Every structure is written in structure tokens, then in C-alpha cells.
Amino acid sequence: MDFKAFRESLKDDNPPEVSGPLLALWHAAKGDWHRAHEIVQSDDSEDAAWVHAHLHRVEGDHANAGYWYRRAGKSASDESVADEAQQITAALFIPR
């Protein structure tokens, strides 16, 4: 799966088979913040911490978001939450 296919999968009722952080972003994009949060909360990777930070930013809990950005080794975003979600999603498809 690539970024474009992931975006297309948002039209579906069932999530694609992707990593936990991407799955959380999929659920968040579908409006299920709580499911997205459950997924990243149980994952201790830096990618999950980045998504976790984003989710708390969406929620408006900037102090908690800051904690998770630090855990992810990322700076807090000043982009719109929609743009940040796109950036994180795209970054998670880049091989490292």
C-alpha cells in the first residue's frame, strides 16, 4: 500500500492492513478518535508517539501533545491539524 491507496481506503468501511500508527490515522480520519487513541496508546514506537501527539493536538490537549511530540523526537506542529495528519501519513510511507 502507498499513500494514495491509503487515502482511497478512507472511502471503505473496513481499514486497510497497515501499521498501528497508520491504522490510528485511518480511524482518526474516519472520525473515531477514541479507537485511534487506543491503538497508539498500546504502541511504544516513535511513530505511534508522533500520531499520539497529533491526536492530543486534535483534542486540544496541547500539554499532553507536547509530551508525546518529545517522546517521538519531533517538534510540535504549527500546521493545521488536517495538514499535519497528511504530513505524518506521508512520512510513515517513506522507507527508513
Task: Say how far apart CA 48 and CA 78 lie, in whole Å.
Answer: 19
**3-92 domain in CATH 1.25.40?**
yes
- Provide the sign of the torsion angle of the four alpha carbons 83, 86, 89, 90, taken in this order: negative
Cβ(50)–Cβ(77) below 8 Å: no
Q: What is the pLDDT of residue 88?
A: 97
Q: Which among 41, 90, 87 is positioned nearest to 68, based on CA atoms?
A: 41
Over residues 66-76, the pLDDT tens digits come to 999 999 999 99
From CA 68, how far away is CA 77, in angstroms rounded? 12
Q: How confident is the model at residue 40 (pLDDT cuts 50, 70, 90)?
A: very high
Provide the pLDDT confidence category of residue 95 given band limits of 50, 70 and 90.
Answer: confident
Q: How many Å apart are CA 11 and CA 18, to the nearest integer?
A: 16
The domain segmentation of the chain, as residue ranges, is 3-92
Confidence of residue 93 (pLDDT cuts 50, 70, 90): very high
